[in-house]
Structure 1
Amino acid sequence: MRAVTFQGKEKIDVRNMPDPTIQEPTDAIIRVTSTAICGSDLHLYHHGNLVLEDDYIIGHEPMGIVEEVGPGVKNLKVGDRIVVPFNVSCGDCHYCTHDMESMCDHSNKNPETDYGGLFGFGKLNGDYPGGQAEFLRVPYADQNSFKIEDDSIPDEKVLFLSDVLPTAYWSVEHAGVKEGDTVIVLGSGPIGIMAQKFAKLKGAKRVIAVDHVKHRLEHSAKQVGIETFNFDEVDMPSLALKDLTNGGADVVIDCVGMDGKVSKIEKVTNKISAQRGTTRPIEMAGVAVKKFGTIMLTGVYLTPASNFPINNLFSRNITLKMGQCPVPHLMPKLYDMVMKEEIDPTDIITHIMPLEQAATAYDIFDKKSDNSIKIVLKPD
């Protein structure tokens, strides 16, 4: 099969790889019909050598048609159309049965880690090759699938049940956004835009999108209908945000993570410390949030932080929340919201490209060029 593979820093290539096979009775094999590039994939694009070997298949936002099922699969049959969550979870452990599937006890056997498996993130994260490929093995298939019964629904309308929608929704819920709040969302990429939408749905009085990519801020202003803030246009953006919100926001949601804009100092410290990327979003959030406010870290941080502002957060009684969204239990609710047109996930799609053009697609997405926001890849 053809698949998108990691080949070192900022190098990916579509190569011929072995077709996946049934390895466990509870496995299924799907023919991927749509998959997408996520901001988390850019962390691998830049720093994948920390967790990946060359030739590893990446991607964690797939959907497709069931081609084969193992003898232990009870709820799926050949021909079913499913969306696959980015978490890999067993469905039976304490965490899975208490809506904490991202911390599954059984899906990640790596002794160096203590959290659940992830598609496309290498041996450290359970060793599950990713979904940017023609075919995908889905372990614990009954648990890690959401059936789309209506064939008339286009992939693009439900594909983001795999990650974007639940991650954005859970970020807002986990942060405790409530009616009347002022919410700052760092980043107007796919997750950020959806988090902005969900914050509005929760009744936030003000939602402010923060970014420095103009076309993404314009999208937030036009499609979400919120305030925008370009941090490149002011000298001290953190303090400017604090002033703009009259002492700070109730909630700041960081949808950027370690691959935000790296400062000059960090470019030096990254060479002599364990940190990679930046902690500037955390530092900005720590100033822009009000006293007794909440910061939610949604963007991925793969390495230790050299300049984590623990003193500032402690001194101002800030609540800090973070982590990987537990996706499976959220998929039915979000599917209903999409079908009822309470939320539209499709307006973030700017590019639909063949899987074979993945290298070009990654370059576009990484550079935020061609007015890109979200890129969907089609294996066919």
Structure 2
Amino acid sequence: MLREPDDILLRVTATAICGSDLHLYRGKVPGMKSGDILGHEFMGEVVEAGSGVNSVRPGDRVVVPFVIACGSCFFCDKQLFAACETSNTGRGAILNKKSLRPGAALFGYTHLYGGVPGGQAEYVRVPRANVGPLRIPDALSDEQVLFLSDILPTGYQAVLNAEVGPGSTLAIFGAGPVGLMAAACARMLGVEDIVMIDHHDYRLDFAQRTYGAAPINFDKVDAAEVIVEATHGRGVDAVIDAVGFEAKGSALETLLTKLKIEASSGKALRQCIAAVRRGGVISVPGVYAGFMHGFLFGDVFEKGLTIKGGQTHAQRFMPELLEHIGNGKLQPEAIITHRMPLAQAARGYEVFNGQEEDCRKVVLTP
């Protein structure tokens, strides 16, 4: 049902379970309410458009960015769509801190991010439809373009933030969907030396086969030590933290997060700080929240590091990435392992959360 003149109603043809959805599944993000609909990676066919919509029309196939942006506020004018000032009014109220200005609303991501129903459904209302939904040519399948909604632009922004290219060395912590998309984009941009760090051998094997990444299993070795030794004591030019706040940390960190005294584990970031060279860049697409134990800011200062992070300005990158998919430079659908009907979404969450059946990515079809 349309509410505003710039709404569209979308019949969902494909949606996916994101690693960020697992934070909600595990109860790690506040603001969930009974009856909330999850899902921020989705696409489909426009079935109805409001009177103010001029960018798409009924019958168009579109992929929808997970960020909801107005397109005309201070931040949207700077193409910082994830910082939109007008689409999300919920964050300050939930955190009870008037000084916290809300970032953009997100689809299906708790009332902390606007409480907008998500796309793991048969139909979804898409607000601000003149800023975001991207028309897809018939020659491309849903699976080829579905990840334009989030993980592909997230991985791409992470690589751009890392400031790497031909001749650079890059380490990616976390071989989940975002880490794999970052590896694909880094390879496309000419990065030759990519190291992938994870503790699931099936993920590491895929990253090695598909993107030529050198694998490190952090359950078997100290990844940062191996990286520093392999780079003659210097470290890599840049690191990407695609793990985030649920990294398995020390016993103390685990206790503090369970007691909700602190919200994030700093294990992955500490490894990043140790593995990167002086003057290097730490790019953080992984989600973090609240306070963190053991953040070595002294090392950040002493090594002269740059840290870049934040939600993805998906609208900025989607047209460019669509072109790369069309010309064959990117094949994001390669990471899909599980395809299920929407009615089996609960099972999909179980499989993805438990890394069962060598699961890399679950796609659901209504």
What residue is the counterpart of 1:167 in the other structure? 154
Query: 1:275, CA displacement in angstroms?
Result: 2.2
* Distance of 1:327 and 1:293 partners within structure 2: 25
What residue is the counterpart of 1:308 in the other structure? 295
1:239 aligns with 2:219: no
Contact 1:88 1:117 in 2 (8 A): yes
* Distance of 2:258 and 2:43 partners within structure 1: 39
What residue is the counterpart of 2:215 in the other structure? 228
Query: 1:225, CA displacement in angstroms?
Result: 1.3
What residue is the counterpart of 2:185 in the other structure? 198
* Distance of 1:356 and 1:221 partners within structure 2: 34
Residue correspondence of structure 1 range 343-354 to structure 2 within 5 A = 343-354=330-341
What residue is the counterpart of 1:11 in the other structure? none
- Higher mean C-alpha displacement, 217-226 vs 299-308: 299-308
Contact 2:264 2:293 in 1 (8 A): no
Pick from 310, 326, 330: which aligns with 2:313? 326
Q: 1:170-210 CA distances to partner (integer Å, 9 max, x unpaired)? A: 11012211321110001111111111121122222310000
Residue correspondence of structure 1 range 1-380 to structure 2 within 5 A = 21-48=1-28, 50-110=30-90, 112=92, 113-150=101-138, 152-234=139-221, 236-246=222-232, 247-379=234-366
Taking only aligned residues, the RMSD between alpha carbons, in angstroms, comes to: 1.5
**Normalised TM-score (structure 2):** 0.94
* Distance of 1:124 and 1:50 partners within structure 2: 7
Q: 1:259-305 CA distances to partner (integer Å, 9 max, x unpaired)? A: 22243222212234532352211011010111111101111112321
Q: How many residues align?
A: 357
Describe the shift of the 1:65–1:255 C-alpha distance in structure 2 as closer, same or farther (beyond 3 A): same
SS at match of 1:267: helix
What residue is the counterpart of 2:97 in the other structure? none
Contact 2:194 2:212 in 1 (8 A): no
Contact 1:274 1:303 in 2 (8 A): no
Question: In the alignment, residue 153 of structure 2 is paired with which amino acid?
Answer: P
* Distance of 1:91 and 1:110 partners within structure 2: 19
Query: 1:58, CA displacement in angstroms?
Result: 0.8
SS at match of 2:4: coil
* Distance of 1:111 and 1:331 partners within structure 2: 26
Query: 1:48, CA displacement in angstroms?
Result: 4.5
SS at match of 1:259: coil
* Distance of 1:223 and 1:28 partners within structure 2: 37
**Normalised TM-score (structure 1):** 0.90
Question: In the alignment, residue 249 of structure 1 is paired with which amino acid?
Answer: V
Describe the shift of the 1:156–1:192 C-alpha distance in structure 2 as closer, same or farther (beyond 3 A): same
SS at match of 1:294: strand
- Higher mean C-alpha displacement, 252-261 vs 56-65: 252-261
Contact 2:76 2:84 in 1 (8 A): yes
Using the aligned pairs only, state the percent identity. 39
Question: In the alignment, residue 130 of structure 1 is paired with which amino acid?
Answer: G
- Higher mean C-alpha displacement, 107-116 vs 167-176: 107-116
Contact 1:273 1:306 in 2 (8 A): no
Contact 2:265 2:293 in 1 (8 A): no
Q: 1:225-264 CA distances to partner (integer Å, 9 max, x unpaired)? A: 1211111112x33222221233211100011111222432
Structure 2 gaps of 5+ residues are 93-100
Query: 1:126, CA displacement in angstroms?
Result: 1.7
